[in-house]
Amino acid sequence: MLAALACRQPDHTPCAFIMYKGLKNTCQDYLQFLHAQLELGLDTVVELPPRPPVVVNDHYNLHGLPVSYSPEVNIQEWVGEEGKILVKEYHTPEGVLQVEVESPSDWPWGEHVPFLDDHIIPVMRKPLVEGMDDLPALKYLLVPPTAQEIEAYKQDSQPYIDFARENGLLVGGGWGVGADMVGWLCGLKQMILLSYRQPDFLQALLDLIGEWNLSRMRAAFTLPLDLYIRRAWYENCDFWTPQAWRRFLLPGLQREVELAHAADAKFGYLLTSKAMPLIDGIIEAGVDVLVGVDPREYELVELKEKTRGKLCLWGGVNGHLTVEMGTPEEVRAEVERAMEKLAPGGGLILSPVDNVRQDSPQIKTNVAALIETWQMTR
């Protein structure tokens, strides 16, 4: 794995699933999940801190250390408009922040509205953060991890670090966040408009998120991580022109990469689609691995030519359409193509992109076909 991350020719091309929810949901705990991946022959990455089972919390879509609020924050939630609207208020010394969301039938959190969660975006009726005047209050929701939280993180993680070292596995951490948080706080449509209509506010919001994220990274690096990943699903060219990406996102990304490298760790950027115009900037930022190379979103030959020796590529197989819905023959063909186009010269970690969410008999057959084909061609 380390050779692949460094774009060197490894003894074999590794295969590590970015996410494997289908298998994880069948396991009683994280150690069992790690053992299950090793039994499949995968080059498993140990993620710190291990993600707990699905629970109602305020930051389900942000892995890593817990999100802390200032003790001066008071939270109130209620249901309005005949049960169709959920309202949440954060009362701070600098004012009140309020978010309103519609409550569809498939809303997973009951009468609760998380702080940071992808489910909020399509049903957001009133965003939590709307302008520069909201930023002083937002600072009370984005406070660095406490000493007690860092100590708990270290204690909880130690058994998994020991397991990783005993089994020769990489230790990963994260996730960092940038524009994805802007989407959670403001909505995606508004995020796009801010870069044109309120660039100063957008920059101030990203700076605030960036400083908070760096504090979480420093806490994460109190343990010996090999890899840190920033999630960037909302940082592609569906939402940003290349010029806007360079202006608003590149500087913060560079600071995070520098912090990871100072801790002797590699830095991953999880961006699964619409990113070809950004590749030069991603390389310029010093990113070590582009996480989430979907063959249905990236032109593999062109991508390999642009990144050879400069940027490791993690992916190569579509998780949903190929592994979850395709045939074993389609899976084998996609693995063979990824290995042919992306593996020569090193710098490939094979994986479905970005998740295998189910665990049906057909999917198990397709996962077996993926692993068997990888083992024959690696």
Decide if 208 contacts 138 (C-beta within 8 A).
yes
Query: Is 218 a residue whose pLDDT tops 50?
Result: yes
Give per-residue pLDDT as tens, 177-211: 999 999 999 999 999 999 999 999 999 999 999 99
Q: At what angle do helices 361-377 and 328-342 cross, to 10 degrees?
A: 30
> Confidence band (pLDDT; 50, 70, 90) for 53?
very low
Measured CA to CA, the distance from residue 321 to residue 260 in angstroms comes to 34
Q: Which residues contact 267 (CB under 8 A, 6 or more apart)?
A: 227, 228, 229, 230, 256, 257, 260, 261, 286, 287, 288, 289
Q: Mean pLDDT throughout 43-69? A: 77
The whole-number pLDDT of residue 52 equals: 55
Going across the sheet that includes 74-80, the strands are 74-80, 85-92, 95-102, 124-126
Give per-residue pLDDT as tens, 57-91: 688 778 778 888 999 999 999 998 777 899 999 99
Can you spell out the DSSP letters for 78-133?
EEETTTTEEEEEEEETTEEEEEEEE--TT-TTTT---SS-TTHHHHEEE-S--SGG
> Confidence band (pLDDT; 50, 70, 90) for 56?
low
Give the amino acid at 174.
G
Domains and CATH numbers, the chain: 2-61+144-377 (3.20.20.210), 69-127 (no CATH)
Place of tokens 């995606």: 188
Give the amino acid at 165.
R
Is the model more confident about 52 or about 192?
192
- pTM of structure: 0.95
- Give counts: helices (H), strands (E), the chain: 15, 11
Q: Which helix (H) or strand (E) holds 293?
A: strand 289-293
Query: Is 292 a residue whose pLDDT tops 70?
Result: yes
Other beta carbons within 10 angstroms of residue 87's beta carbon come to 17
Mean per-residue pLDDT of the chain: 94
Place of tokens 């992306």: 342
Give the amino acid at 172.
G
Residue 211 phi, psi dihedral angles, 5° rounding: -65, -40
The whole-number pLDDT of residue 55 equals: 52
Query: Is 223 a residue whose pLDDT tops 50?
Result: yes
> Confidence band (pLDDT; 50, 70, 90) for 50?
confident
